[in-house]
Amino acid sequence: MRKSASICWVLLVVLIPLLATGALPPQQEAANPANAANPAPNPAKDLAWAFPVPDKNLPAAGDETAPKHLPGSSRAFTPAQIDDLLNPPDWFPNGHPAAPKVIQHGHGQALACGSCHLMSGLGHPESANLTGFSAEYIEAQMEDFRTGARKDAARMNGIAEALSDADSKQASEWFASLKPQPYFTVMEADTVLKTYVNRGRMRLPSPDGGTEALGDRIVELPQDPARTESRDPHSGFIAYVPMGSLAKGEKLVMAGGAGKTIGCDNCHGSDLRGDKYIPSIAGRSPGYTARQLYGFQHFTRNGPGAGLMQPVVKNLTAEDILDIAAYLASVSPERAKAAK
């Protein structure tokens, strides 16, 4: 499990020739000399859409006792069972390989992997889609979470520390066995439904209705909120992105934006599916992608691969990060797979 050093050498050998051509809190930025003259942007101001925070005044909850059902599933779970992070619902047990205990059940601080990432591995915008990642890449990330090199104090640091190496390896291999699939429909828009963020950090349409200007943000909404709240692994999302962001994002991703950065295809491949230690970046939640770019840029991701990404993202603005995230979400992982 402790593979950070070897992974680092692999990445350095592969990627340094290209480089030659998760943020410290704002109060800690000055500790990094490179940032002293150029303070980091505040994510709450510049990329708040990618860092969902539960609203203080939430809509009244519905019936919390009646069992829920999903199309195509013979199973039923109550809301309390659905929200049990130690025992997530498995609506379609025949739709995935036999899952190890660490995926299905948690213990103490180690929540069950399937609660946030679902039993499909596709997760939600506030978590992560783990399909399309290699087992080696996932294991490396778990190690970075365990050591604190990659920071997520709310969830993953504590989870990774509580898991054994065997559990991390089993979980990594299981998620790596799942097939990526289209999960996001990306639509350019000027306006979007009014929304709120629930206790689980999921953004949902406001029950009061109405629309508002999209502005300089991306809004990710479930295609079917009821199914998504029930952790339906088959129900995807619509990502509403600003007009023109897809074209701008494509230029940054595929050509580096006229020298502002390095085209993502240089390292992640023309199909954007990555390799053994280089992650696939096609078809993922734009919020997740934006958080990772911000983390590289502001030093909440400091594992072996982070040192290679930090120069790549150094000059990106919040608008650039939005555009990149929007475009990458629009690339179907199935199309990317066919291109390889």
Q: Whole-number mean pLDDT of the chain?
A: 86
Does residue 317 contact residue 325 with C-beta atoms inside 8 Å?
Answer: no
Q: Which domains are seen in the chain, by residue range?
A: 79-176 (1.10.760.10)
The answer to whether the beta carbons of residues 8 and 304 sit under 8 Å apart is yes
Tens digits of residue pLDDT in 54-75: 999 999 887 778 999 999 999 9
- Which pLDDT score, from 0 to 100, does residue 15 have? 37
Task: Confirm if 57 and 206 have CB atoms less than 8 A apart.
Answer: no
223-250: pLDDT as tens digits: 999 999 999 999 999 999 999 999 999 9
- What is the SS3 assignment for the chain? CCCHHHHHHHHHHHHHHHHHCCCCCHHHHHHCHHHHCCCCCCHHHHCHHHCCCCCCCCCCCCCCCCCECCCCCCCCECHHHHCCCCCCCCCCHHHCCCCCHHHHCCECCECCHHHHHCCCCCCCCCCCCCCCCCHHHHHHHHHHHHHCCECCCCCHHHHHHHCCHHHHHHHHHHHHCCCCCCCEEEEEECEEECEEECCCCCEEECCCCCEEECCCCCEEEECCHHHHHCCCCCCCEEEEEECCHHHHHHHHHHHCCCCCCCCCHHHHCCCCCCCCCCCCCCCCCHHHHHHHHHHHHHCCECCCCHHHHHHHHCCCCHHHHHHHHHHHHHCCHHHHHHHC
Q: What is the pTM of this model?
A: 0.85
Q: CA–CA separation, 234 vs 122, rounded Å?
A: 9
Look at 67 and 24; give whichever has higher pLDDT: 67
